[in-house]
A and B are shown apart, each in its own frame.
Chain A
Amino acid sequence: MISFRRSLAGSWLLLILVFGCFQDAHALPAFARKYGLRCSACHESWPMLNYFGQKFKDNGYQLMNDRDAPIWQNPSYWPVTFRITPIWHRVSTGRVAVDQGTGMDNAESRIEKSGFDLSGLDFHTGGTLEKNFSFYVLPSSDSTATFHFETVMGRLDNLFGSSWLNVKLGKFELDNLLSEKRILTLTANGGIYQTYHFIPQGDANIYGQIGSNQLGLEYMGHSADDRTRVSAALISSSNGNTGLVTGSNSYSGFFTASQAFDAGKWGVERIGFYDMTGLAATMYRTSAGVPIPGSGIGNKGFNRVGFVGQFYFGPHFDLQVVTQHGADNAWFGQGYGNAVNPSNGAPGNPLPNNTPGTVLPATARAPSWNGATFEAHYVYSPQLIFIGRFELERMSQQATVGTASNLGNITTYTIGYRYNPFMTSRAGFAWHNEYNFLHQDGTGPQPGENVNSSELLIGFDFDF
């Protein structure tokens, strides 16, 4: 039955692909309006940047001509862009634990839901305050209009006239070349990079997610043509949560370097690496037994390191690769480290606190894993792009001796396309179709049960 449904969904997608009018692409219209450039100048397909767009961003949202300062703009110019995505989607989640006696036969069931829906609303505002002073503020809401600050940063660009000296302060996306904030896919599982967020089963270290926007200070430098890039960020180990709710001396570092090469008719190829090394608290002082926010001590270490490659094979096809080797301290593996985090999601059921006298079980070990993301694009034109992504996350050492070696492993793929029926410097509109399938080992309600989930999404993704 499941197979039949998958076939049906696949056939439907194929039909849409064949008969639908495909479309996609644009830029942040606030920038496009300012400079009079089409979206396609900076975006391989909106919102994913091409090399020129990456250079524009690295220069502090400046073209590096004499018109970068806002004083050159018409006073009516307002650097704001709104983005929202009305959709229809069908979500299928396998092996969901359900109560018996509610008409269901089993203790677990596949839950399928479908219908019309909305994404959240993003208010992008960014640009220059003056030549070489740039900013970006992104209040973002969920679909119920509950807002949070996704990005708030100011940047000093080209200090002492050097493109090698740029400093950013605030909450921002880490310097990931394959940017999750500019991801081309929108489903719940396909709209993030699993490699950027993977956490072993039972592990409570949420602070090593390189896909989350983080609070901190970043140095970034690049050559004039952006072929060479380096960055180093010092961030609070808080996974971007404000209010100093975690450890008072818990910081992480994120380092990147990459080099691009002119490969003639193939295009510009880039290779690089990243390394996130950090400390996060596992022990919180308590008041009436409740952990006190910000009181975290007992820092333990974690590390994420990987290779990044952007390979272009002519004007139409490219492959983006990110790998990761991750390792957490054994304390995290046993569930310590997230006792007070608001994203814990378990009120009344807090994760364990490493209070004095706590000892790890003899079977505890430092969990480690390897992951990889492969994302291919076929860019038919600036207005039409086909996307295919395959990701796998594999545990190499579980946190507890005796745990199934594959527990928590993830395999997922996403396919889709985006079509922009028009391409201007004023607004963007994409007709978006996508299908995601995710398989995770051993995370069903019963031991050893695997879980399969899928989502089909169709919608309009637009900004103005």
Chain B
Amino acid sequence: MRRKPFLQCSLLMSAAAVLALSLPVRAQLSTVQLQAWLNSPAATSHVGNITGNAKAAAPVYRRYCVGCHGEFGDGNGEVAQWLEPPMYPKPRDFQLGIFKCRSTPTGTLPTDEDLYDTIARGLDRSSMPIWNTFTKDERANLVAWIKHFSPRWQTEKPGTPIQIPPEPEVTPERVKAGQEVFGRVQCWKCHGVQGMANGPSASTLTDDLGRPIWAYNFTDGSRPKCGSTDRDIYKIFMTGLDGTPMPSFSDNIKPDEAWDLVFYLRTLQPHNAYNAKEKQIARQLGLKPVSPQ
């Protein structure tokens, strides 16, 4: 009779202990695990000839990043509550291990260099600033630090970057072909026939967490989130922006066609440092918006 309350109590305490141990967020390492990880070779990043060290990144992360991304990298920093999508996207939840800007196929982890570039480039149309004031070491250290938040980095390797063929010469034929691709894969459904982010699906878009999200407006002069060069734009639709409705079109668009699409998308943008020739060709062709079909 006396053992029963003891057992119940033990069970309750065990359950409480299990709960307590499992509570520190989905993927958060315990302090002991974190220290062990920080001292392991895994707690590094490699960008070119720079080796980032996660341990060195902790003070930098706390100073610059924790306000949005949170102490545990879950995107629940102090200011996250004030960021209202779609105008102000919520901070990235590093624990999910899902990243928009990658050179790797959809569904895979990004390379260290992808994360390194994202930090320096910032994310336009969000609260993520351009952190190009960091030293290269600081950026590489932060990449190593970010990786400890998600268990994916312990069980998976980054994907292999997609192959991008050399960029061909821009020609009127290629621009027209790009327009055909734009219509065929139905980019216009979200981005609109003129690239003004007003396609029929635009108002219904949500990210994987159910938060409203805007399609990219090619015409307002803002920077594409994952880089402004032709190669960056190529990567965006061939790898997709994971976690968003923007899929990878690598199964639908051949590499050569992808360049055609890049050239056509350039015609939708206002004049910038990259699209003088495309804009000129569009004018010569008298290019009209695609017809929704």
Are B222 and A66 touching (Cβ within 8 A)?
Answer: yes
Interface string of A421-448 (1 = CB under 8 A from B): 0001100000000000000000000000
**A105 interfacial by beta-carbon distance below 8 Å:** no
Are A38 and B222 touching (Cβ within 8 A)?
Answer: no
Are A38 and B135 touching (Cβ within 8 A)?
Answer: no
Residues of A within 8 A of B124 (CB): 65-66
Are A382 and B62 touching (Cβ within 8 A)?
Answer: yes
Interface of chain A residues 371 through 391 with chain B (CB within 8 A):
381-382
Interface string of B110-139 (1 = CB under 8 A from A): 000000000000101111011111011110
Q: Given A65-B126, A66-B125 in contact, is the A52-B56 Cβ separation under 8 Å?
A: no
Are B129 and A37 touching (Cβ within 8 A)?
Answer: yes
Are B135 and A63 touching (Cβ within 8 A)?
Answer: no
Q: Given A36-B68, A382-B62, A424-B78 in contact, is the A263-B135 Cβ separation under 8 Å?
A: yes
The interface centre, meaning the residue of B63, B88, B126, B132 with most chain A CB atoms within 10 A of its CB, is B63
Residues of A within 8 A of B223 (CB): 66
Secondary structure of the B contact surface, majority rule: loop
The interface centre, meaning the residue of A63, A72, A424 with most chain B CB atoms within 10 A of its CB, is A63
Q: Closest B-chain residue to A380, C-beta based?
A: B59
Residues of B within 8 A of A265 (CB): 56, 137
Q: Closest B-chain residue to A66, C-beta based?
A: B222
CB within 8 A of A268: which of B62, B64, B135?
A: B135
Interface of chain B residues 34 through 66 with chain A (CB within 8 A):
56, 59-60, 62-64, 66
Say how far B68's CB is from chain A's closest CB, in angstroms.
7
Please, how many angstroms separate the alpha-carbon atoms of A51 and B138 in the complex? 13
Please, how many angstroms separate the alpha-carbon atoms of A40 and B130 in the complex? 16
CB within 8 A of B79: which of A66, A224, A263, A425?
A: A425
Secondary structure of the A contact surface, majority rule: loop
**A12 interfacial by beta-carbon distance below 8 Å:** no
CB within 8 A of A36: which of B59, B67, B87, B220?
A: B67
Say how far A125's CB is from chain B's closest CB, in angstroms.
21
Say how far B136's CB is from chain A's closest CB, in angstroms.
6
Q: Closest A-chain residue to B66, C-beta based?
A: A38
Residues of A within 8 A of B88 (CB): 36, 67
Residues of B within 8 A of A268 (CB): 133, 135
Say how far A222's CB is from chain B's closest CB, in angstroms.
11
CB within 8 A of A38: which of B59, B78, B130, B138?
A: B78
Please, how many angstroms separate the alpha-carbon atoms of A425 and B122 in the complex? 20
Residues of A within 8 A of B67 (CB): 36-38, 40-41, 424-425
Q: Closest B-chain residue to A38, C-beta based?
A: B67
Interface of chain A residues 44 through 60 with chain B (CB within 8 A):
51-52, 55
Are A40 and B79 touching (Cβ within 8 A)?
Answer: no
Are B135 and A267 touching (Cβ within 8 A)?
Answer: yes
Are B132 and A224 touching (Cβ within 8 A)?
Answer: yes
Interface of chain B residues 122 through 173 with chain A (CB within 8 A):
122, 124-127, 129-133, 135-138
CB within 8 A of B122: which of A65, A72, A262?
A: A65
CB within 8 A of B82: which of A36, A225, A315, A382?
A: A36
Q: List 19 A-B contacts (CB under 8 A).
A: A36-B83, A37-B67, A37-B68, A38-B79, A41-B64, A51-B133, A64-B129, A65-B126, A65-B129, A65-B130, A66-B220, A66-B223, A262-B137, A263-B135, A264-B135, A264-B136, A424-B78, A425-B78, A425-B79
| Residues of B that sit less than 8 Å from A by CB | 56, 59-60, 62-64, 66-68, 78-79, 82-83, 87-88, 122, 124-127, 129-133, 135-138, 220, 222-223
